[in-house]
Structure 1
Amino acid sequence: MKILYPLTALMILFTVISCNSKSSDKEGNPNNAAKQITPELKIPIDSAAISKFYQTYPKLVKFQGDVLALYKKKGSTQLWLDNKGIVEFGSTLFNKYKGLEEEGLKANFPYNEKITPIFERISDNKLSKIDTDLMITNLYFYYAEKVFSGVDEKTSTSLQWLLPRKKVNYQVFSDSIFEHATINDDNKSKMFSQYYKLRDVLKKYREIEKKGGWKMIDVGEDFKKFKAGDSAVAIAQIRERLAVTGELKENNKSAVCDSTLIAAMKDYEIHHGKTPKNIILKEHIDELNVPVADRIKTIIVNMERCRWIDPELEKGKEYIEVNIPEFRLYLIRNHEISFVSAVVVGKAMTKTVIFSGMMNNIVFSPYWNVPQSIINKEIKPGMAKNKNYLAEKHLEWNNGAVRQAPGVNNSLGLVKFLFPNSNNIYLHDTPAKSLFERENRAFSHGCVRVAKPRELAIELLKNDPKWTPARIDKAMHAGKESWYTLKKKVPVYIGYFTAWVDREGKLNFYNDVYNRDESLIKLLTEE
């Protein structure tokens, strides 16, 4: 997809004062006083020069249309050069490019060997002034695309990310950065806020990596568990490991498992998608032994996903967000979390889709209209083996299709929440409550099962005095399907983040349940 870059308001003035005037000063010295203004540098850069540039440097050709429009607007003259050389902001841009690692990106401008001498080895710059200016302009567009847009929409779609992509307003962005001669976003407003939080922890984890990371914990193949009171060399290793990432505030180097260590381990488990326990298991050791380099990759991948999200999303007064790897749903109201529920998401073979919709209806005591895929794969084989299969499952034929009657045995439970979409995905209750006790909750056919559906309905209807909790309970247990249309639609965003900094500033890691991280990290780190 072609990215539309701005016709920026590059307010760069190239006026240089020189002392070549032969006018007299107030004491009559003819060559000593008035100063002549050297003519402003004007280097014509027209469409022919731009076309020739891209013939020589074809790897940058995707920027050609935008570059042409930019120079045309600015009078078809240079943007980055004056009589002294490169204007200061050009050097600022280059320094930001050289610091792309801080943004979780590799510095791989297609013509790095040409751009570097312009700033670092000036005597080695063999480019003409025209090509020098054009090369810097292309560096600007390259930087803006990499940092503020990320991979193109076609690529993110191929990675099955169907949430609406952020549409960067490059006009506003460029006007701001060039007016202040900086690319820094001091008020952190240009990106989804999670991006900045992950960027901060990336810096922290890179510092840990520079210091050698953390040591592996060796418990042996026959290890079962550690509990309070146990003593082992590995316990001191666990203590040291938790001190590195901050779950343990002080490391007394004790080899005895005590309540302080158990509490620190519980904190670690909570922020790594685990159910906290009073014992330390092999699965916890495996999690602790994930190398810091792998954690850094996970942070980088999720920074990229943040580039795709419009920061305006967070300004909504009310919306629902579901994070698939976290197995959790949040209702955000007035920028605060007003409701949280565990969820069950799709199995690896029937993945929950990453997309968004607008919730418009709540259905109480719903029928379940069985998808044809399930009829073919499960119901027909079941009927072939058992003539009473439909009755036992509370299923019935309905105009050539199959549906399940309302009630406590219904696969959708007692309520469902609809946001129309082509994927036929919605939120719903379930009679299979025990699944919410699992750490890994990928069991559904694709829809999102909610652990606390009654409470969610109450929250969504709390501003409608007619829908009291008692009335909601009655509708859920009526045994007859009834629909309620929300007075105001509620946005629903189903996302996929394996690293997330929560509102308390704690970094959380979640299992890559659909194995989506690896393909994205390859895209971001390939030469």
Structure 2
Amino acid sequence: MNHPPFPSAGRIVLLLLLLLLLPARGGATHDTQHTQATQTMVARLYEAEGNRPLWTGGDGRRARQALRLLREAHAHGLDPSDYRLEALSDQLDHPEAHGMERIDIALSGAVLHLLTDLHVGRVRPAFSAIPASVQGPPFDPVEQLRHALDQDRVPQLADAAAPRMPLYRRVKTTLAEYRALAQSAGQWLPLRALPHHGKLILGRAYEGIPAVRRRLMLLGDLTDADAAATGDQAVYSAAVAQAVKRFQSRHGLAENGEPGPATLAALAVPPAQRVRQLILTLERLRWLPPMRPGRIVAVNLPAYRLWAFDSAGDSKAEPLEMRVIVGAAARTPTPVFIGQMRYLEFNPYWNVPRSIERVEIIPKLARDPAYLKNNAMELVSNGGQVLAAGQAASLAALRAGTARVRQRPGPHNVLGAVKFAMPNPMNIYLHSTSAGELFSRERRDLSHGCIRVERPADLAEFVLADPLQWDRQRVRAAMQAGATRTVRLGEAIPVVLFYATAVTDRRGRALFADDIYRRDLKLAQALHLP
């Protein structure tokens, strides 16, 4: 097949550089890193394809497919204007003013830029180095595009580049739903507090209930059938109370069925803000590498939730889910990273981090010489030998760093009965706790950075995955008071600590959480979101 004359590889690079430096959204230019990466990929693409046109010529079908692909960026929470959709569309309408070679190269650059953003995100992730052992096969946008062109599968490119995980697809669907809600709902006004004293009584009418009912219906927590079952819209009915509970469950609130101040505040959040949260989640999910099939433990920090599941098993099986306690926002926020759980310690010692020794232990020991004894703690040399030192010697050794503090196993140990170790420079791990009552709190950023799990025995049974040697009874027996026991896992399990204030569960429910670490605003600014 004969192709029209096309520029050399060197001229392709020059044309692409000029095209990519043209203003995109809001007059901003593409950053240098994106420009250089896209320039390199486009040069590779045309070299591999013999420097022939890829989109232009013929009946224009390929070019139209490219434009539709760029337009689809919106469904993924990306802005099509970042890929110069309107400018490219105008150029295709007036090819004589721009030149077909320039248009062809610009389309390739825009598509490769989009595929890269869909696969790894627009903003570089906050994750530290990701272990190669947990990653799936690499993704090459150039080869993906070449294959799609060869197989006439350009319309499927976006789904091929975006994360394959079911959570991403669910959040993408929820984003479309909340965008539609934001457009149709009109003005989203705050709700007034209900004028009442004490607990709401079922069957009574209250001023403000009609507004609550309407809001719950818009959000899908109160069905039309349930709403119609109560004649008087001002009545606080059992259906309304159940709908409030459903809403509270989705927003991490106390599930008492009463529209109190916290619930009314959550009901007042406009859909446009939820849209932004969902867009941020899609970006953060793009930071995660494709994970190899197998068991995974995932913790969403602002939602205070842990899920453990086997991605290679039954896709319909419900994951193990539990509440967690994470690092305190004001002092010790838990970092986001991907670790590998390698072993468990039953009845662990707590080796107090040096930072806690300096800030908490040393001042308390200075005030109370019996502090270590009263808290089942002991002074240990750097070589592991237990020291019998008086107050002055203890303080001197601690201050000099020649000794450290550890807490003995037992009912008062802050790690509880089991520690889930995933060695990392930040010394972050999962563990049980002796303060189980803290899981009932709505806000649970209470730790020094490590993650306390609500159901440690269930999690231990999951990660050990050996029903013959470690059934439920044996796991619970190992958690009883006794000697410290280390059990190494046959295969390391990825532990993903991520941050998302909006997710969608397997039932399709949109779940929202407070931005406890104030990370949404920074990411929204980086993405130029309103």
Q: TM-score range by the shorter chain?
A: 0.7 to 0.9
* Distance in 1 between residues matched to 2:64 and 2:444, nearest whole Å: 50
Q: How much does 1:424 deviate?
A: 0.6
Give the length in aligned residue pairs.
479
Which residue does the alignment assign to 1:460? Answer: 463
5 Å-filtered alignment, 1:47-446, equals 47-54=9-16, 56-57=18-19, 59=21, 60-82=35-57, 84=58, 87-109=60-82, 114-119=87-92, 121-122=93-94, 126-152=97-123, 155-157=124-126, 167-170=138-141, 173-178=144-149, 179-184=151-156, 190-191=162-163, 192-213=165-186, 215-220=188-193, 226-250=200-224, 251-252=227-228, 254-313=233-292, 315-316=293-294, 318-333=295-310, 334=313, 335=315, 336-348=317-329, 349-399=331-381, 400-446=403-449
CA contact 2:119–2:161 (8 Å) conserved in 1: no
CA contact 1:162–1:353 (8 Å) conserved in 2: no
* Distance in 2 between residues matched to 1:456 and 1:446, nearest whole Å: 19
Q: How much does 1:511 deviate?
A: 1.6
CA offsets, 1:166-204, max 9 Å, x none? 853435532453213433369878523222211211111
When residues 185 and 372 of structure 1 are mapped into structure 2, their CA distance, relative to the original with a 3 A threshold, is: same
What amino acid sits opposite 2:482 in the alignment? G
When residues 55 and 139 of structure 1 are mapped into structure 2, their CA distance, relative to the original with a 3 A threshold, is: closer
Residue 453 of structure 2: which of 438, 450, 454 is its match? 450
Residue 495 of structure 2 is aligned to residue 492 of structure 1: yes
Which residue does the alignment assign to 1:524? Answer: 527
Q: How much does 1:111 deviate?
A: 5.3
When residues 249 and 181 of structure 1 are mapped into structure 2, their CA distance, relative to the original with a 3 A threshold, is: same
* Distance in 2 between residues matched to 1:495 and 1:287, nearest whole Å: 23
* Distance in 2 between residues matched to 1:113 and 1:327, nearest whole Å: 42
Equivalent position SS for 1:199:
helix
CA contact 2:75–2:176 (8 Å) conserved in 1: yes
Equivalent position SS for 1:269:
helix
* Distance in 1 between residues matched to 2:159 and 2:87, nearest whole Å: 33
CA contact 1:214–1:241 (8 Å) conserved in 2: no
When residues 97 and 186 of structure 1 are mapped into structure 2, their CA distance, relative to the original with a 3 A threshold, is: closer
TM value normalised by structure 2: 0.83
Equivalent position SS for 1:525:
coil
Q: How much does 1:54 deviate?
A: 4.3
What amino acid sits opposite 1:285 in the alignment? L
Equivalent position SS for 1:257:
coil
What amino acid sits opposite 2:300 in the alignment? N
When residues 274 and 358 of structure 1 are mapped into structure 2, their CA distance, relative to the original with a 3 A threshold, is: same
CA contact 1:163–1:354 (8 Å) conserved in 2: no
What amino acid sits opposite 1:243 in the alignment? M
What amino acid sits opposite 1:256 in the alignment? V
Q: Choose 1 or 2 for highest CA Rg.
A: 1
Equivalent position SS for 2:81:
coil
CA contact 2:280–2:523 (8 Å) conserved in 1: yes
CA contact 1:352–1:447 (8 Å) conserved in 2: yes
Residue 479 of structure 1: which of 476, 479, 482 is its match? 482
Q: How much does 1:430 deviate?
A: 1.0
Which residue does the alignment assign to 2:505? Answer: 502
Which residue does the alignment assign to 1:6? Answer: none
CA offsets, 1:124-179, max 9 Å, x none? x5212322221222122222123333225xx322xx67667885343553245321
Equivalent position SS for 1:409:
coil
Which residue does the alignment assign to 1:42? Answer: 4
CA RMSD of aligned residues (A): 2.6
**Gaps (5+ residues) in structure 1?**
1-14, 16-39
CA contact 1:360–1:489 (8 Å) conserved in 2: yes
Identity rate, percent: 28
Which residue does the alignment assign to 2:386? Answer: none
When residues 286 and 156 of structure 1 are mapped into structure 2, their CA distance, relative to the original with a 3 A threshold, is: same
Q: How much does 1:387 deviate?
A: 1.2
* Distance in 1 between residues matched to 2:248 and 2:129, nearest whole Å: 31
The more displaced of 447-456 and 244-253 is: 244-253
**Gaps (5+ residues) in structure 2?**
22-34, 382-402
What amino acid sits opposite 1:64 in the alignment? Q
CA contact 1:217–1:238 (8 Å) conserved in 2: no
